[in-house]
Amino acid sequence: MAAAVVANGKKKLEQIGPKIGVISSPTNPMVTPLLTDLYQFTMAYAYWKDGKHNERAVFDLYFRKNPFGGEYTIFAGLEECIKFIAHYKLTEDEIAFIRKSLPPSCEDAFYNYLRGIDCSDVEIFSIPEGSVVFPKVPLMRIEGSIAVVQLLETALVNLINYASLVTTNAARHRFVAGKSKLLLEFGLRRAQGPDGGVSASKYCYMGGFDATSNVAAGKLFGIPLRGTHSHAFVSSFMSLDEITERSLKHLDSPKVCKDFVCPVKTWLTKLKRSRLLGGIFSETNQSELAAFTSYGLAFPGSFLALVDTYDVMRSGVPNFCAVALALNDLGYRAVGIRLDSGDLAYQSCEARKFFQTIEKEFGVPGFGKMNITASNDLNEETLDALKKQGHEVDSFGIGTHLVTCYAQPALGVVFKLVEINNQPRIKLSEDVTKVSIPCKKRCFRLYGKEGYPLVDIMT
Amino acid sequence: MAAAVVANGKKKLEQIGPKIGVISSPTNPMVTPLLTDLYQFTMAYAYWKDGKHNERAVFDLYFRKNPFGGEYTIFAGLEECIKFIAHYKLTEDEIAFIRKSLPPSCEDAFYNYLRGIDCSDVEIFSIPEGSVVFPKVPLMRIEGSIAVVQLLETALVNLINYASLVTTNAARHRFVAGKSKLLLEFGLRRAQGPDGGVSASKYCYMGGFDATSNVAAGKLFGIPLRGTHSHAFVSSFMSLDEITERSLKHLDSPKVCKDFVCPVKTWLTKLKRSRLLGGIFSETNQSELAAFTSYGLAFPGSFLALVDTYDVMRSGVPNFCAVALALNDLGYRAVGIRLDSGDLAYQSCEARKFFQTIEKEFGVPGFGKMNITASNDLNEETLDALKKQGHEVDSFGIGTHLVTCYAQPALGVVFKLVEINNQPRIKLSEDVTKVSIPCKKRCFRLYGKEGYPLVDIMT
C-alpha cells in the first residue's frame, strides 16, 4: 500500500509515541466502545461461544463509488480512528449495559472476556489521511482477532464515512472556486448535530478551506476563525443616538476623535453629494448606519459589515463606506463587506465599482480593493455559475451545502472480511456490485516519469 | 402559543425542578458555549462596548419551508436546547480562547462580563417537542439580554435543525410503512459523525421507529436494541467441523441435545427430499450452514439469520430453516430472517411460501409467520414501491437514507430578532422569502368540533 503501518494496537502505538506523539482520546467523548451496532456484540458472543473469537481475521475498509458524481475521493478520518482504537476499553458500566441488552442465557464468562479486550493485537495498515483515493482500493486494512475487529467496525466506518465525504466536498468547492479565493466554512448551525458541525470544520479545512466560523473547532484544531455580525445586530439598532461610547483613538498617534459619529455623518453627506455616487442612493437606513458605526467603534482594525439587511446599494454599501472612510481618517483600514442575499454577481460588481469610484474621487489608496465576501446557500454549482457570470467576490462563506454534503449526504464505506486464518473469504450477493474481492491485498500507486500518478494497482 | 413556558433560565428551571426533574447536561459533551459562530462573540463585544448588551430582545426560531417536499414538520431538539441553556457557563479556558480569537484591542472588562454570563434571565416559550409544526410559526421564542441570546443562537439552531429534520423523516417513513410494520433504525455507520448517529437514533424513535441497532443510543435513551449478525460472520466460517461447542439444552426440560449439528443436518436432508421444497435448492453453502448453526447455538431463543451472503433461496433460507427446525425440536422458536440485497419484494414472497410450506408439510405451527426483515438502502420511495409490488416483509431496517436525510439533508431553521426594548424589528431582504415577520407573537392552533386541528393562527 502507498502507506505505512499507522497503528499497531495501543502498546506499539505507545512505543512509537515519540514519533507520532501521545495519542489523545477521541475528539468527541461520545466515541466509546458502545458506539457500535448491537450485532457486533451478538456476533462477539457467538464467536466466543464457539471458541472462534481469537481467529486472526483481515478486513478491508473501502467504498464502492466516488461521491458527487465525481472521479475522486479524499480519504479522511484516520486520526480519529486511531484515537478510538488506542483508547478502546469497555468500562464496567458499559459491560453491565451489554449484559442487559443480550439474552440472559449468555454466559457470564463472556463478560470477563469483554472486560479484557483491548486493541493491542490489532494492526491497521492505511493510506495516509488526506490522500486522493479511488473506489474498491482498501483505504484501511484491519487485522486482529475476529471478535475484536468486528467490535471496531461500526465506529471506524462512521468515522471515515462522513470525514471522507465532507473533505471531498470541500476539495471540490476549492477546485471550482480557484486557488485565489478565500473559502470560509459557515456550516455549524445547519450541520447534522453538534459534532457534524465540529468535524465538518476540521475536514473542510483539510479539504482546502481557509477558515471557519465555528469557535469550538478553532479551539480544538487551531483552524483560523472568521466572523463579523448578523442581520439581528443591524436591526437591533434604532438610530445614531443610541451610540453612547463615541471616542476612538487614532491608530498611530495619541490623538483621540471624541465623537466618531461626526466624521461618519460627514462622509455620508460627501458620498451623497458626489457627482459619481450621489445618484445611487438618497437616504440610507439609520439603524443600519448606527449598527455599522457601533461595530466600527468596537473593531476599528477589522471592520467588516453585512450590508444586505435593508438594501445593498441604496443603504448597506454607502453606510459601510461612510464608516470605512471615517476609520481611514484615523489610520484604520476597513476589511470589507459581506453579501448574504440577492444576485451576488451583480451586487459584487456594483459594490466594487462604488469602492473604486471612492478610491479615485477621494484619493483613498486601496479602497477599491475592499474585500467582498458572499454567502447565502452557496454550493459547487452556484460557485461555478458565479464564475461564468463574472463577479467581484474575494471570499465565499459556505454552509449548508458544504457541511451536510447536500448533493450526496452519505458515502458508502464498507468493511468486509477478506481473510480468516490465512484463508481468503468472499461475500457473494444478488447485487454484483456488492461482491467483495477476497484476500489480503497490497496496493501500489504508480507514478510516471514526470511525477504524476498514473494508476493504482492491487495485488 | 399552543405551548407552555418550558424553560425560564436556570434558576426558574430549578424551581420547577420537581416537575421536570433535575436538568442533566447536554447529551454530547461537545455542546458547550464555544459551539457557536465567532460573530456571536464579536457582536457581544460590540453590544457590550456600546452599553447595549443588556437590552431586552425577543428572537423567533422558525423555518421557512417543510422538508422533503412535504406538508408538515415534527419539532424536535427542545430537550437538548434546555440542557444547553441550563448549563450555560463559560470556563476560564474558554474565555482565554475567546480572548485569543478577538483583536487585542478588545477591553479586559469584557471578559469579566463574559465570566458572569448565565441564562438566568433567558425565557424560552416553546411548542412542545414532538408536535406537528408548520413554516413561519415560531417553534421557540427566546427572550433575554440581546448579547446573551445571540450567544445561544448557533447552538440552538444546530440542535433543532437536524433533530426536527430527522424526526420528520422518520415520521414520513412510518407513514409510508404503515402502523403494523416494525421499523428499525440501522444508520449509525453512515451517519454524519458519531452524534449524527446517536441523535438520529433518538429522533427516529421519537418519529415513530421501534428500535435501533445503536448500542450507545440504547444506553443513553432507553431505546430498544436490535441486531443479529453480518455477512462477515457468515463468511468467517468454513464448515460444520469448526463448531466445537455443540450441546444445547432443551428449553423446557433438563434434557440436553449433545450434538446440535446432527438434527440440523437431518432437517436439511428432510427439506431437500421434500416433494414441495426439494426442487428449490440442492447443495447449500456449508460455511453459511455452519455460521447459522453456531449462531443458533449461541442464541437459541432469538435466532435470526442474515440469509443473502451467498444465495437467498438456494442456500440462505433452506439453511436457516434447518437450524430453525432443529431449534424448534428443542422447544425454541426462531425469530426469522433478514434480506439485505436483491429484489426484496420477490425474495420475501418466496421465503414466505417456503416457510408456509414447511408449516403445512411438517406440521410446525406458526412457522409460516416467521419474521422477515428487509434492509439495503431503503427509503420512503422504496418502501412505497415495495408496498405497490406486494411483499411479505414484517420489519424494515433503514439506515443511510433515514439518518442522513438523503432526500433533503438540511432544514433551514432561522433565528430572527423580532423585538428589542418592546420595539418591533424587521429584517428586509432582496429575497422576499427572507423578510422576517416583526413583533412578539402569540400562536394558537384551532381545533374543530371533532377534535381535529384546523389551522394555526399567529397574532
What would the grid cell of residue B155 be? 447552538
CATH number for the domain spanning B261: value is 3.20.20
* CB proximity list for B205: less than 8 A, separation 6 or greater: B170, B185, B211, B212, B217, B221, B223
Q: Which of A341, A369, A393 is at the close of a domain?
A: A393
What pLDDT score was predicted for residue B17?
35
d(CA A68, CA A172): 9
B130 occurs within a structural domain? yes
pLDDT digits (tens, 9 = 90+) for A355-400: 999 999 999 999 999 999 999 889 999 999 999 999 999 999 999 9
Cβ contacts of A158 on chain B, cutoff 8 Å: 188-191, 193-194, 197
Residue A152 sits in the same domain as residue A103: yes
d(CA A404, CA B192): 8
Cβ contacts of B224 on chain A, cutoff 8 Å: none
Between A32, A52, A427, which is nearest B242 by CB? A52
Distances from the Cα of B81 to the Cαs of A110, B88, B443, in angstroms? 40, 10, 21
d(CA A417, CA A150): 9
What would the grid cell of residue B237 be? 466460517
Mutate to test the interface with A, among B32, B37, B228 (most CBs of A within 10 A): B37
CB contact under 8 A, B105 and A300: yes
SS3 per-residue string spanning B352-397: HHHHHHHHHHHCCCCHHHCEEEECCCCCHHHHHHHHHHCCCCCEEE
d(CA A57, CA A151): 13
Mutate to test the interface with B, among A27, A31, A32, A38 (most CBs of B within 10 A): A38
A215 occurs within a structural domain? no
Residue B249 sits in the same domain as residue B362: yes
Residue B112 sits in the same domain as residue B152: yes
pLDDT digits (tens, 9 = 90+) for A207-231: 999 999 999 999 999 999 999 899 9
Between B52, B215, B294, which is nearest A101 by CB? B215
A16 occurs within a structural domain? yes
B200 occurs within a structural domain? no
What residue in A sits closest to B233 (Cα-Cα)? A43
Cβ contacts of B106 on chain A, cutoff 8 Å: 298
- Contact in structure between A229 and A297 (CB atoms under 8 Å): no
Cβ contacts of B161 on chain A, cutoff 8 Å: 189-191
A241: alpha, beta or left, given left = phi > 0 and alpha = psi -120 to 50?
A: alpha
* CA distance to partner chain B, nearest, from residue A451 (Å): 35
Indicate the DSSP class of residue B214. B
Residue B130 sits in the same domain as residue B83: yes
d(CA A394, CA A178): 11
- Residue A356 phi, psi (nearest 5): -65, -40
Q: How confident is the model at residue B10 (pLDDT cuts 50, 70, 90)?
A: very low
What pLDDT score was predicted for residue B443?
83
* CB proximity list for B108: less than 8 A, separation 6 or greater: none
Residue B340 sits in the same domain as residue B380: yes
d(CA A164, CA A70): 13
What pLDDT score was predicted for residue B430?
65
Q: For B283, what's the count of Cα atoms within 13 Å in the CB-facing half-sphere?
A: 3
- Contact in structure between A211 and A171 (CB atoms under 8 Å): no
Distances from the Cα of A25 to the Cαs of A10, A28, A81, A88, A140, in angstroms? 12, 8, 10, 9, 20
Q: How confident is the model at residue B19 (pLDDT cuts 50, 70, 90)?
A: very low
Q: Which of B393, B419, B448 is at the close of a domain?
A: B393
Window 301-360 of B: residues touching A by CB (8 A cutoff) are 301-302, 308-312, 341-343, 347
State the first-to-last Cα distance of chain B, in angstroms, to the nearest integer: 10
Residue B41 sits in the same domain as residue B104: yes
CB contact under 8 A, B427 and A309: yes
* 3 state DSSP class of B417: strand
Q: How confident is the model at residue B444 (pLDDT cuts 50, 70, 90)?
A: confident
Indicate the DSSP class of residue B222. -
Which helix or strand (DSSP H or E) is residue B423 part of?
strand B423-424
Q: How confident is the model at residue B4 (pLDDT cuts 50, 70, 90)?
A: very low
A192 touches chain B (CB under 8 A): yes
d(CA A235, CA B434): 14
- pLDDT surpasses 80 at B432: no
Residue B164 sits in the same domain as residue B268: no
Among candidate residues B196, B211, B102, the one with its CA nearest the CA of residue A195: B196
Length reported for chain B: 459
Residue B103 sits in the same domain as residue B244: no
A431 occurs within a structural domain? yes
Higher pLDDT, A125 or A10: A125
- pLDDT surpasses 60 at B6: no
Cβ contacts of A300 on chain B, cutoff 8 Å: 105
State the first-to-last Cα distance of chain A, in angstroms, to the nearest integer: 10
Q: Which domain holds residue A156?
A: 4-178+406-458
A49 occurs within a structural domain? yes
pLDDT digits (tens, 9 = 90+) for A231-264: 999 999 999 999 999 999 999 999 999 999 999 9
Residue A241 sits in the same domain as residue A112: no
* CA distance to partner chain A, nearest, from residue B305 (Å): 11
Residue B439 sits in the same domain as residue B330: no
- Contact in structure between A150 and A188 (CB atoms under 8 Å): no
**What percent of chain A shows pLDDT beyond 90?**
83
- pLDDT surpasses 80 at A294: yes
What residue in A sits closest to B406 (Cα-Cα)? A409
B186 occurs within a structural domain? no
d(CA B234, CA B245): 17
Which helix or strand (DSSP H or E) is residue A323 part of?
helix A317-329
B427: alpha, beta or left, given left = phi > 0 and alpha = psi -120 to 50?
A: beta
Beta strands in A111-156 (DSSP E): 123-126, 132-133, 140-145
What residue in B sits closest to A225 (Cα-Cα)? B38
Residue B167 sits in the same domain as residue B311: no
Indicate the DSSP class of residue B37. B
d(CA B14, CA B17): 5
- Residue B150 phi, psi (nearest 5): -65, -40
Q: What average pLDDT does this structure show over A426-433? A: 72
How many domains does the structure of chain A reveal? 2
Q: How far is CA B200 from the centre of its chain?
A: 3
Among candidate residues B187, B329, B206, B197, the one with its CA nearest the CA of residue B262: B329
Mutate to test the interface with A, among B31, B42, B313, B434 (most CBs of A within 10 A): B42
Angle at A94 (CA atoms; ends A92, A98), nearest 5 degrees? 115
What residue in A sits closest to B97 (Cα-Cα)? A219
* Number of H-type helices and E-type strands within chain B: 16, 18
What pLDDT score was predicted for residue B435?
77
* CA distance to partner chain A, nearest, from residue B71 (Å): 21
A201 occurs within a structural domain? no
CATH number for the domain spanning B169: value is 3.20.140.10
d(CA A396, CA A374): 5
Secondary-structure percent of chain A, ordered helix, strand, coil, rounded to 5: 45, 15, 40
- β-strands B4-7, B123-126: how paired? antiparallel
d(CA A42, CA A403): 34
What pLDDT score was predicted for residue A21?
55
d(CA A369, CA B228): 62
Indicate the DSSP class of residue B420. E
Q: What's the CA dihedral at B106, B45, B97, B90 to 10 degrees?
A: 140
Mutate to test the interface with B, among A41, A189, A350 (most CBs of B within 10 A): A189
d(CA A163, CA B194): 11
What pLDDT score was predicted for residue A279?
85
B64 touches chain A (CB under 8 A): no
Q: Which of A393, A419, A444 is at the close of a domain?
A: A393
A278 touches chain B (CB under 8 A): no
- Contact in structure between B456 and B137 (CB atoms under 8 Å): yes
Burial of A93 (0-12, 13-18, 19+ CB in 10 A): exposed
What would the grid cell of residue A303 be? 471592520
d(CA B365, CA A93): 41
Give the number of other Cβ atoms within 10 Å of residue A433's Cβ.
11
What would the grid cell of residue A337 be? 463587506
Beta strands in A323-408 (DSSP E): 336-339, 371-374, 395-398
What would the grid cell of residue A301 be? 482594525
**What percent of chain B shows pLDDT beyond 70?**
95
A213 touches chain B (CB under 8 A): yes
pLDDT digits (tens, 9 = 90+) for A101-110: 999 999 999 9
Residue B155 sits in the same domain as residue B46: yes
pLDDT digits (tens, 9 = 90+) for B372-387: 999 988 999 999 999 9
Q: How confident is the model at residue B425 (pLDDT cuts 50, 70, 90)?
A: confident
Between helix A194-206 and helix A146-177 the angle, nearest 10°, is: 60
Between A26, A38, A416, which is nearest B213 by CB? A38
